[in-house]
Structure 1
């Protein structure tokens, strides 16, 4: 018995140590005031995580501008989207896209060798639509991308397919019990930073046309002290929390980056960044509905998800910490 108790204590201590290493950030922790004094609006970060995020979010050096030559459509065949771009700029864009999306495969990733005008490869048809999506994002969604804008590299980072995308989740097999597994909860959710919140917070908010609008689905908290007809459930609230946790981890920030924790729903007490995030939410759903989902039949079957759906975007697709 004398040996058992110390052994149990040792094992328990080791378990706690492993748990702490896997869940807690290594000191030092940097805290920066980002709002009025006394409101608790503080940005919490770790120098190590900040340095890592900075390293992976460095855009490659841009190629020199070249606006020489007649419109590309007058020189090359089957140029549908960039036909009015000068030939020099068109060549610059094509070379850049190769570096951003297919640095190993080169031009042949999208084009048929010896017949660049051919649309035989699905990758070319997808790339054409992605160019249109990029133009649309930069032109229409300045409320989110501001004057910075996006390019193919923003999502692809040198990969054929962006690393951070999502598919509709398939309910994994589980035993019948008392846990709330049927609501998509009570198991580790990678999308919600490893919590037991719903493991697919994307489908309800980032694709389709939610009944009553996505804003009505997200706003689950009541606005009065007494019941006033708010029919939102705890489960619906958990879906919102799962989505918000995904926002936070995608940007590498805490909740107070956008919200004042005394009243998460109050716009007047939130930071200006919440407005940018609001437009980003609607932008992402629009991109999925209007660009990604319609390409389902175009993509190769092996690139579709378990339910046969196409890869879709969320905040992490672009931001990556």
Structure 2
């Protein structure tokens, strides 16, 4: 009798230990809707104070007006429309956000600040264009909170959360070729799902549609709406969804309704934001980072020779609002400009989200 009780206690403790291993971080649960509908909202419990900590401005923001930067300095191609004082203020902040130890010399030749000889300056110029585009053309996702260089970089030259095209195995060999699966990575929530989802869905504007199923399953009767997505292909979609949940520190019902994951009219408003978010990431990777492939040196490229790109975790870092929702861009108007110059340069965001799964 005693030995049986000990065995049962041991089994309970072992089960608790196994479940505890899955609980990587503390979570909070809140009921959303009727009980039993599977709509509980689960969030990672983070240190809100730490998440919301952002570096203060380098000094008091300058007053509006003054000589334009393009007249005060040479070779100013992006921020020439702001004042000389605002230009210096913005440069000081960018140095703090990206290269606090290296300082201005990380991008500039100290003997000739106008020179483009360092690749880092060319990259920074393109990233400034990207940041302005996000803050003016992708407000359906970033709202009025906006982004700054710090949103991704967090005081480091290269954001810690990035990805590149995975190295291809030998397609003619089964031995050692896992076809991108069964490799536990944080990007796929340590699952056995494919690690090629980013390349498939987040590379550029021509990325594959994020789809699991269609309205009809018949292969020929409803040819226009037939489900042409194979079971193997849907694994990539699930991989992306696992990444998104991990990156935002939430569960599936943050965006979807457990009654019908497909139905847009049952989904939460967050799903529309995610729809724009995926397309914003495609724009960043294809239009901006992809255009720098020939600029980056070899040590800043992935195994397939492509630049390191962004995904959801690059900004979010495990919380559903990057930096806990703190808006830094309000202190840096140069990164969210207004006027005809910006309107002409920034492509409009996509039309309203479709009524069916994109």
TM score, norm. by length of structure 2: 0.77
Change (3 A) 1:272 1:32: same
Question: How far did 1:80 drift?
Answer: 1.0
2:169 touches 2:178 (CA, 8 Å); kept in 1? Answer: no
Equivalent position of 1:188 in the other structure: 184
**1:141-173: CA deviation from partner (whole Å, max 9, x where unpaired):** 011111111100000000011111100011468
Q: Distance in 2 between matches of 1:315 and 1:34?
A: 24
Query: What SS class does the counterpart of residue 214 from structure 1 fall into?
Result: coil
1:61 aligns with 2:56: yes
* CA shift in 2, pair 1:221/1:86, >3 Å: same
Task: Give the corresponding residue for 1:207.
Answer: 203
Which sections of structure 1, spanning at least 5 residues, go unmatched? 1-5
**8 A Cα contact 2:169 2:177, kept in partner:** no
Asked which structure has the greater RCO (Cα within 8 Å, sep 6+), the reply is 2
Q: Secondary structure at the match of 1:31?
A: strand
Gaps of 5+ in 2: 1-5, 319-358
**How far did 1:197 drift?**
0.6
Alignment correspondent of 1:20: 19
Q: Relative to structure 2, which stretch is displaced further, 256-265 or 57-66? A: 57-66
Separation in structure 1 between the aligned mates of residue 168 and residue 177 of structure 2, nearest angstrom: 13
- Residue matched to 1:221: 213
Distance 1:320 1:185 in 2: 24
**Partner of 1:113 in structure 2?**
110
- The normalised TM-score by structure 1 is 0.85
Kept in 1, the 8 Å contact 2:218–2:227? The answer is no
**CA spacing shift, 1:57–1:194, aligned 2, 3 Å:** farther
Write the distance in 1 (CA, Å) between the matches of 2:159 and 2:202: 17
Verify the 8 A CA contact 1:191 1:201 in the aligned structure 2. Answer: no
Aligned equivalent of 1:136: 133
1:33 positional shift: 3.1
Give 1:94's aligned residue: 91
Answer yes or no: is the 8 Å Cα contact 1:292–1:310 preserved in 2. Answer: yes
| C-alpha distance in structure 2 between counterparts of 1:189 and 1:200, whole Å | 12
User: How far does the alpha carbon of each residue in 1:250-298 deviate from its partner, in whole angstroms, 9 at most, with x for none?
Assistant: 1111101000122111101100000000000011101111000110111
Structure 1 pair 147–34 and aligned structure 2 pair: CA distance change class (3 A): farther
Q: 2:244 aligns with which of 236, 239, 247?
A: 247
- Root mean square deviation of aligned Cα: 2.8
Question: Could you give the per-residue CA deviations for residues 23-47 of structure 1, whole angstroms, max 9, x where no partner exists?
Answer: 12566x4212345666432221343
Q: What SS does structure 2 have at the residue aligned with 1:275?
A: helix
Distance 1:83 1:157, change over 3 A: same
Q: Distance in 1 between matches of 2:44 and 2:146?
A: 27
Alpha-carbon spacing, 1:42–1:95, altered in 2? closer, same or farther (3 Å): same
CA distance in 2, matches of 1:55, 1:106: 25
1:41 counterpart residue number: 39
The residue that corresponds to 2:281 in the other structure is 284
1:198 is matched with 194
Residues 1:159 and 1:41: Cα distance change in structure 2 (over 3 Å): same
Q: How many residues of Structure 1 are paired with residues of Structure 2 in the alignment? A: 304
Match of 2:151 in 1: 154
Q: 1: CA distance between counterparts of 2:24 and 2:307?
A: 35
Residues 76 and 258 (structure 1), Cα distance of their counterparts in 2 relative to 1, 3 Å cut: same
CA distance in 2, matches of 1:298, 1:199: 26
